[in-house]
């Protein structure tokens, strides 16, 4: 027998009661949920802030083995560009797909506890798939824009905030060429 995970708390914001969903395979219900974010929804450089609101739109579908949840999570994401270190603030959409197996279904019998989610007392806990969707969906190397030019290697300022012709004299080949023409060695 599998070790039972604790029954979801029906009052928890991400716990959904599926009793109103008819058990005939193929039957579905559309749902929307606005719930507060929670701790730990992010990586080092980017994540969903704790005080944010998570917006879920999903379909609960009865399937032979249980209840399938499929939909999206929309949430604000804040972080720091991995190249220029400037702040990133955007809204991200994460895909959610999760099967909650019926107790005593073939899926339940043939999989381990941690391989597939379970329906317990007709309740499903969306927190694990929400967490997975965010953690897998966030970029490991977040960028403020795909072609962010990063920082000037000499002064450390974001190139996006510098004029297009920003240069430092010692690295500018034109100045070096001019220096040679004038017979001066400008290198140090």
Q: Which two tokens stand for residue 46?
A: 């980017």
Does residue 133 bind Zn ion (CB under 5 A)? no
Please pick, from the candidates 14, 73, 81, 124, the single residue that binds Zn ion as defined by CB under 5 A.
81
Identify whether the C-beta of residue 66 lies closer than 8 Å to the C-beta of residue 107. Answer: yes
Q: How far is the CB of 135 from Zn ion (least distance, A)?
A: 22
The answer to whether the Cα torsion of 29, 32, 35, 38 is positive or negative is positive
Region from 49-57, 74-82, 118-126, 129-137 binding Zn ion, contact rule CB under 5 A: 74-82
Q: Which residues, listed in sequence order, are joined to residue 95 by a DSSP beta bridge?
A: 72
What is the CA 137 to chain-centroid distance, rounded?
4
Does residue 148 bind Zn ion (CB under 5 A)? yes
Does residue 146 bind Zn ion (CB under 5 A)? no
Does residue 84 bind Zn ion (CB under 5 A)? yes
**Nearest to Zn ion of 126, 148 (CB atom):** 148
Q: Which two tokens stand for residue 150?
A: 């990063």
Please pick, from the candidates 41, 60, 144, 151, the single residue that binds Zn ion as defined by CB under 5 A.
144
Q: How far is the CB of 43 from Zn ion (least distance, A)?
A: 16
Q: Which two tokens stand for residue 117?
A: 């989610």
Does residue 126 bind Zn ion (CB under 5 A)? no
Q: How many residues bind Zn ion (CB under 5 A)?
A: 8
Does residue 88 bind Zn ion (CB under 5 A)? no
Does residue 83 bind Zn ion (CB under 5 A)? yes
Buried b (16+ CB within 10 A) or exposed e, 75-100: bbbebebbbbeeebeeebebebebbb
Residue located via tokens 């599926």: 18
**Nearest to Zn ion of 81, 119 (CB atom):** 81
Q: Which residues, listed in sequence order, are joined to residue 147 by a DSSP beta bridge?
A: none
Q: Which residues bind Zn ion (CB under 5 A)?
A: 81, 83-84, 144, 148, 152, 154-155
């Amino acid at each position: 027998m599998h070790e039972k995970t604790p029954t979801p708390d029906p009052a928890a914001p991400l716990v959904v009661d599926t009793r109103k969903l008819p058990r005939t395979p193929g039957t579905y219900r559309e749902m929307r949920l606005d719930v507060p974010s929670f701790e730990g929804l992010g990586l080092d450089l980017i994540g969903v802030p704790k005080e944010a609101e998570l917006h879920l739109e999903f379909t609960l579908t009865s399937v032979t083995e249980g209840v399938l949840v499929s939909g999206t999570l929309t949430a604000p994401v804040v972080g720091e560009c991995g190249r220029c270190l400037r702040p990133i603030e955007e809204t991200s959409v994460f895909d959610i797909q999760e099967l909650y197996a019926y107790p005593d279904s073939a899926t339940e019998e043939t999989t381990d506890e941690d391989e597939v989610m379970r329906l317990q007392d007709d309740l499903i806990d969306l927190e694990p798939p929400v967490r997975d969707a965010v953690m897998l969906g966030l970029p490991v190397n977040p960028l403020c824009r795909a072609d962010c030019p990063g920082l000037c290697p000499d002064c450390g300022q974001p190139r996006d905030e510098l004029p297009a012709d920003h240069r430092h004299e010692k690295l500018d080949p034109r100045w070096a060429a001019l220096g040679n023409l004038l017979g001066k060695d400008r290198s140090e």
